[in-house]
Structure 1
């Protein structure tokens, strides 16, 4: 259902940097609405490598990507952000110091400022070219990401792909599901340790390997899946009984409509002022991987810093004429849930 939203800051992108921007804006009493093309928050951390450890987050010698997103969501929760997921921003207009954003689902968002935290841009899964795919996608029989591994307990799961996501989920699900791994060649592109553990699991009979095979078709009633048809390059086929197909062929990434907003692009990235993350459009800011400036490092921790700088630069736009006195969170504290009302549809 389309929503009409009034808020202070519209954030495009619900990855780790976008989530931290909610916290930084909230600490300055600014409400946020967050839009993302994916159906879940977390960006690439959720879609590509939820169980991969990240080693360069301060105070965490190692933290799984999914755990990082869960903690960032909790950190933002006191400021009750409104999440608009499974849609992307297609239109951006400005009049009298207020921005109006329109989404692919028909939502209208009005905000005093915009933060583009879209990573490398809006992205979606690379879908296999299989007949009747849409019906199985709609039922959840074919998926491109895993939100809850428990959903696959006792199920027959075919996993296709040769990268980290495919291997990680095969290892994660082998203890609760009957897993068949499909790849077109014996060598996997995953981290060496993960690939070694996959080989060991296959040797113990914990994972069935279908190599060298590729996806050829789907069997079922158009909604409920019963099997996945595989084929070699020589045309030899076999059918693997399956309740679910998890296809991990990476994501197709593009800036999409953002590329046509006149933001001053630099090789599909948005050029910003380093000290504030302002773009060429007053009131629009860019942070995270999408932002470009001299000395930029594509690290999550640098994106966190950019979120803080952008929030402070936005404050006078939301509260014109109000002096902002910088305070440390240790002395200011965090407002209790409900103290900062998040963006909500009116009515």
Structure 2
């Protein structure tokens, strides 16, 4: 395929528009490289926006506390002067390296991108909620009766909410919603939770004070309602004892199903849904393809957003050398160069 057949041409294609992908856009811009960014979600932000937009993050340097969505908004603003092109709501289904060392990417909606280098910042690949095995779930998903992510706390004001699960998400949202919802009921199959000890202790205290109802040891069984409007969540013990909990919303938090999807077919060095890289450059086993963030793996890897930021800087500098092998570069600090004016 010729470059002229592509609908877009760019220096670097970044797969994944989460925090690490967005910071890579900034790093590329600082080196004078343009970027196209592809993401399966309809918005930028990755898991920060999809899973915990209102949840505070505490380990971002210079921010003692910042909500997931606020972090994304700032990263997008930081990247904006470099005018990245976003291709959202689509997945890269084909990635081919051509004889000239450049790459052709094709997405699920037919977008074709010619890129000099590729940076995979796809988190853990495509992700979606692990849904409980209940009949009729989808009947209530459209109306918001069943939700797997909390976008806005305000949606639950004055509502009866059943939260199912025993991990951090279940416990954190029970703590967060108890003072805005009319009633919060937590369904779990055993008294012990897998959440942070401090959070579990707070949940217990609220339960003892009668502010959260603990429905233990029960599991989800079925849903009742009419025309997509939820009225009851039916739960059962292992012995078959049932309870019908009056509810406006069910929030099942059973973790995420991660799958690499088409990335698995790109001839990269894969190990358990991760891509092995050389840490110094974040280079994969295919020259010109780099991986950063949660999907990238090397010895002593820390899965932190801040590690991903540093990996992004390393990958972009290495990508520039791949793009321009004969050119000598001098590293400059942003304090020296500044950023372009919008």
Fold conserved (TM > 0.5)?
A: yes
Tell me: higher relative CO, structure 1 or 2? Use CA pairs within 8 A at least 6 residues apart: 1
Distance 1:188 1:99 in 2: 47
- For 2:224 and 2:140, how far apart are their aligned partners in 1? 10
Structure 1-normalised TM-score? 0.84
In structure 2, what is the Cα distance between the partners aligned to 1:206 and 1:134? Answer: 30
Contact 1:21 1:304 in 2 (8 A): yes
1:244-274 Cα deviation digits (max 9, x unpaired): 2211100112322212211122443222233
Q: For 1:79, which of 62, 77, 82 is the aligned residue?
A: 82
Q: What secondary structure sits across from 1:8 in the alignment?
A: strand
Distance 1:252 1:262 in 2: 23
Call closer, same or farther: CA 1:147–1:28 in 2, change over 3 Å: farther
Q: Does 1:175 align with 2:179?
A: yes
Q: How far apart are the structure 1 equivalents of 2:133 and 2:112?
A: 34
Say yes or no: does 1:12 pair with 2:52.
no
Indicate how the Cα distance of structure 1 residues 129 and 74 shifts in structure 2: closer, same or farther if over 3 A, else same. Answer: same
Gaps of 5+ in 2: 1-6
Distance between the aligned counterparts of 1:158 and 1:5, measured in 2? Answer: 47
Deviation string, structure 1 residues 80-139 (Cα, Å, up to 9, x no partner): 444444443222123344423233444444332211112333221101111122232233
> Which residue pairs with 2:126 in the alignment?
122
Offset, 1:163: 0.6
1: CA distance, partners of 2:8 / 2:162: 41
Q: Whole-Å Cα distance in 2 between the matches of residues 227 and 47 of structure 1? A: 26
Aligned positions, number: 335
Question: 2:192 — aligned with what?
Answer: 187
Distance of aligned partners of 1:259 and 1:36 in 2 relative to their CA distance in 1, 3 Å threshold: same
**RMSD, aligned α-carbons:** 2.8
Aligned pair in 2 of structure 1 residues 295, 155: CA closer, same or farther (>3 Å)?
closer
CA distance in 1, matches of 2:153, 2:79: 25
CA pair 318-199 structure 1, distance change in 2 beyond 3 A: same
Matches within 5 A, 1:248-263: 248-263=253-268
> Residues 84 and 157 from structure 1, CA distance in 2 versus in 1: closer, same or farther, beyond 3 angstroms?
farther
Does the 8 Å CA contact 1:37/1:124 hold for their aligned counterparts?
Answer: no
- Any gaps of 5 or more consecutive residues in structure 1? 338-347
Residue 30 of structure 1 aligns with which residue?
33
Q: Normalising by structure 2, what TM-score?
A: 0.85
Query: 1:143 is paired with a residue of what secondary structure?
Result: coil
CA distance in 2 between counterparts of 1:294 and 1:191 reads 26
Q: Is residue 2:276 matched to residue 1:271?
A: yes
